[in-house]
Structures are given as C-alpha cells and as structure tokens.
Amino acid sequence: MSITAFRPTGDDALVAVTEVDAPTPRPDEALIAVEAFSVNRGEVLLLASGRQEPPGKDVAGRVLQAARDGSGPAAGTRVVAHIEHGGWAEQVGVPTIRLAVLPDEVPSEVAATLPLAGLTALRLLRAAGGIAGRRLLLTGASGGVGHYLVELAAGIGAKVTAVTATPQRGERLLALGADAVVAAVEDAEGPFDVVIESVGGDVFGQALLKLRRDGLMLWYGQASLEPARADFFAVGQGPVDVTVRSLWYWTEADRDGEDLATLVDLVAAGHLHPEIGEIADWAETPRLLAAVRERQVRGNAVLTVPPVISGGSPRLEQAVRASAA
Ligand SMILES: NC(=O)c1ccc[n+]([C@@H]2O[C@H](COP(=O)([O-])OP(=O)(O)OC[C@H]3O[C@@H](n4cnc5c(N)ncnc54)[C@H](OP(=O)(O)O)[C@@H]3O)[C@@H](O)[C@H]2O)c1
C-alpha cells in the first residue's frame, strides 16, 4: 500500500508531494493517521541546506493501529507526537513513548504546534532553574518557541522582558504575560538573572552584556543564521562572571511522552495558548514554508490533512472495528 507524503526536492520549493510506501511500524510504534502537522524554522533551515531525510517532527492525529507490544493507546485514540522525521505525510509510525493522548478540548491543529517548540520551551525553563521572581530576557520572543517561553515563564512568576522587532507581535507577548517588550536587545533594561538567546550574530553579545554578575545565558538557536559574536573584554567591564550553556531539546527525547502530556494538560486547563500565526490545507505546505523562512509567520504554522486523504473516517472506523473484534 502507498500513502501521500512530502519529500525534499533540493530546490526552492523545498518539498513536493509524492506517493511512498506506507510505514511499517516497529513493535513499539503506533500507526498514526495524521490530521495536522506544524512546521518549524529549524526544519525549514534544514531543508534549505539540502537535507534529504523525509521532513516532519510535529504531528497530531488518530491511532490507526495500536503498537504490537501492547504499549500506548488503542486504535481510534487522538494523540500528539514528536518524531525524528517523516511526519509531513498521511500516516506515520510513532514510538509510544513519544506521544501523548489528547482530550476532546484540544483540537489536532492546536496540538500539532506543541512538540518541537513546546518541548524546547519547557526544557529551557527547566534548565533555567527556579525563575519565580527572577528577571528573564528572551530574544526571538515572537517565534514558535518564544511564545511558549513567554507564557510559561510568566505563569511561573518570572519578570519577562521580550525582544521582538514587530510591535503587533509585542502586543500579543504582553497579553501572554510579558512585563516589558522591546524592539532591540540594547533597549532592554537589565540586569537580568537569565537570558534565553536564539537569534545569534551581534544579538548574542549584546544579550550577554545584559546579564547580572554570575548570570546564566541559555543558548539554543541562531535564527539569523549568523554565528554568535561576543566581546570578551566588554564582558569584563560588565557582568564579568557569566555562564553560557547551550541546550539541544532532543537530548531529552526519552521524556517526550511525559513532557507532551504536561503541555497538553496546560493547554486543556487554559494556562497555555499556542500561537498559530497561520493555518492552511497541507496542499499549501510549500507556500507556508516560504512564509516561515521570510519571517512572516507569528508563532507556529500549521497544516491540516483532509480526513478523506488522511484515512479519517472510513479507514479509522475499520481500524476501530478490527481492534474491537
Ligand atoms: N536548540 C534546540 O534544541 C532548538 C529547538 C528549537 C528551535 N531551535 C532554534 O531556535 C531558533 C528559534 O526557533 P523558532 O522555531 O522559535 O523560530 P521562529 O518561529 O522563526 O522565531 C524566530 C524569531 O526570531 C526573531 N528574529 C530576530 N532576528 C531574526 C533574523 N535575523 N532572522 C529570523 N528571525 C529573527 C523573529 O522575531 P521578530 O521578527 O519578531 O523579531 C522570529 O520570530 C531557530 O534558530 C531554531 O533553529 C533550537
């Protein structure tokens, strides 16, 4: 059997639709009918750099076939999952330790925004330690990860200063709990206990100088594509003793399922509001990839897979009947 999926083209379109063999899940994997997926800047950058692996890390949908080893949810259950690759497709196999069950009040198109961006934000804040009452500076705050960081950090009680070049995006960050929004790092009123940096270039060095003595910078990205630049002697005349710690969210992949469940609970309880800048039919994936690349999307970009293609009702009903028999 074959399914429809996006594969890299190696040209400016980045991806094209193609027919590929249906996935054959491992014993510990559930087969998911994808209902929605989201695209992240990091994935777009990888495609633009010529990476050829099937794209797609963030998916939400329904279990078509439960895992053969008995782990995870039954056929018919709605889930959100974080996978290595291949999620921009009708169906995908997902290790059951990397998915979480969705309650009715969290739609698939909302849940699809949670994996890469939400997991990164959660893990950055864990790495930041106790931030209640602490002063936090976030660069790239209007991005997919940034929106989650602002709302989660403010919810914990941190005093958040968010950097975004766009005033309209700044208003949303204030609504999510930011204390202050500035258009450039130089305008931020420090010193800060923690800086979370994702832009790179000169922004990295400017943000470092906003730390207090003994402050911590968590460094997780380079959205500008420019390597981080900093002046050691300027640090000597400023915060002096600082710690810079890089963080890669995938080092905690064994916690994906439990961390996704935490994020889903926060959304269901109304404590976390995924910011969906654009939502479109998956046929529009190449256009949306270009928009993410051009910095035109606020927060997360989501693609929906029509049920008739995703194996929605008829095939799902068959799967549910087969598992009940
Ligand atoms: N280490 C990890 O595990 C990990 C995990 C996830 C993401 N990342 C990386 O973290 C970065 C942010 O990811 P994301 O998904 O949140 O990206 P995103 O949604 O594209 O957000 C990036 C934000 O950075 C701001 N920005 C400032 N200068 C920029 C420039 N020159 N080019 C592009 N954006 C610029 C933009 O805000 P304004 O236009 O409003 O200023 C934009 O909203 C990316 O580099 C990504 O690869 C790393």
* Number of CB atoms found within 10 A of residue 255's CB: 16
Domains 2-113+276-324 and 117-250 share a fold: no
CA 112 → CA 99, 203, 212, 244, 312, distances in Å? 11, 30, 37, 31, 17
Mean pLDDT score of the chain: 93
- May I ask the CATH architecture of the domain 2-113+276-324? Alpha-Beta Complex (3.90)
Ligand 1 centroid, distance to 221 Cα (angstroms): 7
Specify the pairing of strand 29-39 against strand 91-95: antiparallel
User: Using an 8 Å Cβ cutoff, are 280 and 304 in contact?
Assistant: yes
Which of ligand 1's atoms lies nearest the C-alpha of 123? Answer: 3
Query: 């976390």: which residue's tokens?
Result: 272
Residue nearest to atom 36 of ligand 1 (CA): 140
Sequence ranges of the domains in the chain? 2-113+276-324, 117-250
**pLDDT (average), residues 242-263:** 97
Q: What is the pLDDT of residue 307?
A: 77
Q: What is the pLDDT of residue 308?
A: 52
- pLDDT tens-place string over residues 44-77: 999 999 989 999 999 999 999 999 999 999 999 9
Superfamily for the 117-250 domain = NAD(P)-binding Rossmann-like Domain (3.40.50.720)
- pLDDT tens-place string over residues 283-303: 999 999 999 999 899 889 999
User: Using an 8 Å Cβ cutoff, are 151 and 272 in contact?
Assistant: yes
Instruction: Among 139, 145, 252, say which to mutate for ligand 1: greatest number of ligand atoms within 8 Å of CB.
Output: 145
- pLDDT tens-place string over residues 171-225: 999 999 999 999 999 999 999 999 999 999 999 999 999 999 999 999 999 999 9
Tell me: cis bond preceding 73? Omega within 30 of 0 counts.
no
pTM (two decimals)? 0.93
**What six digits make up the tokens of 122?**
């959660």
Pocket of ligand 1 (CB under 6 A): 40-42, 45, 116-117, 120, 140, 142-146, 164-166, 169, 198-199, 220-224, 247-249, 295
Instruction: Among 149, 152, 198, say which to mutate for ligand 1: greatest number of ligand atoms within 8 Å of CB.
Output: 198
CA 212 centroid distance within chain: 29
**What six digits make up the tokens of 62?**
């329904």
